[in-house]
Amino acid sequence: MKKKAKKAVKKQKKAVKKSQKKAAKKPAKKPAKKPVKTTAKKAEKKIKSPAKHLKPGENRTVYLSLGSNVGDREEYIEQAVTLLKETPGIKVVRRSSNFETQPEGKKNQPLFINCAVEITTNLSPQSLLDLMQGFEDTLGRDRSLEWGPRTIDIDILLYGNELISEDRLSIPHPLMHERIFVLEPLQEIAPNVIHPILERTIKELYHDKKAETVSTDKYEEDLPGFREVKRGIADDYERW
């Protein structure tokens, strides 16, 4: 009887070991995922997340154009630069002098103060755009009137050598090579930077535009009725 009892105990132990081995092989059940709550802080973190195509610690060199023609113009420029300096993920490398410039588009408004700023950042172009528009709102930018006066205007001119064409964002800025108020401050801090589409340096683009502006001014001043003739030609072209 004792032998039978011992054999029964041994069999029971073997059965327990087998069941333990089988249980160990089975994958443990994963706990059900809890729904993720979206908060304002998480949304802000998403906006400020690094660009997907950038490696950890990798930054892009970005050039910005700043302008103001309302109130204390220079103070608004300084406040915008301060916001850039205080933002994680952005480092202000250098900035240009302030230039007083004529308004574009709607002429009947105060003169602008413009400057250019070079930064490095790990933010994506789209995240940087959201951030710059947030800065504009913080500093009281009124968007109700197109080409109208503004406390601050911040444009992304170049983002490394990236070429971007989206509804909200175009890089390089599509009008930067046409605007003397953009090129003059920019060529002060980045004369040898090459426009990724036009393949010309900022300094070359600035001198080209300056020569074009001087030439146009000379014709308009020296030739009576030149503006009317030019306008008439343009009207004929539109009709044609």
> pLDDT 10s digit of each residue in the chain, 240 long?
434 444 444 544 454 455 445 444 444 444 433 333 333 333 333 334 445 556 777 899 999 999 999 989 999 999 999 999 999 999 999 999 999 998 876 777 889 999 999 999 999 999 999 999 999 998 988 776 666 688 999 999 999 999 999 989 999 999 999 999 999 999 999 999 999 999 999 999 999 999 987 754 444 444 444 344 334 433 433 333
185, 59, 195, 168 alpha-carbon torsion, rounded to 10°: -90
| pLDDT for the residue numbered 53 | 59
Q: Where are the domains of the chain?
A: 48-174
| pLDDT for the residue numbered 207 | 96
CB neighbours of 37 closer than 8 A, spacing ≥ 6?
A: none
Backbone angles phi, psi at 120, to 5 degrees: -115, 145
The one catalytic residue among 141, 222, 231, 235: 141
The one catalytic residue among 130, 155, 200, 208: 155
| pLDDT for the residue numbered 24 | 46
At residue 25, what is the residue type? K
| pLDDT for the residue numbered 110 | 87
Does the domain made of 48-174 have the CATH classification 3.30.70.560?
Answer: yes
Tell me if residue 222 is catalytic. Answer: no
| pLDDT for the residue numbered 14 | 54
| pLDDT for the residue numbered 51 | 52
Tell me if residue 94 is catalytic. Answer: no
At residue 158, what is the residue type? L
The one catalytic residue among 60, 73, 95, 150: 150
Residue 157 and residue 175 in contact, taking contact as beta carbons nearer than 8 Å: no
| pLDDT for the residue numbered 215 | 56
Find the largest Cα–Cα distance for the chain.
131
Tell me if residue 153 is catalytic. Answer: yes
What are the tokens at 116?
């250019």
The one catalytic residue among 60, 73, 153, 179: 153
Tell me if residue 72 is catalytic. Answer: no
pTM for the complete prediction? 0.68
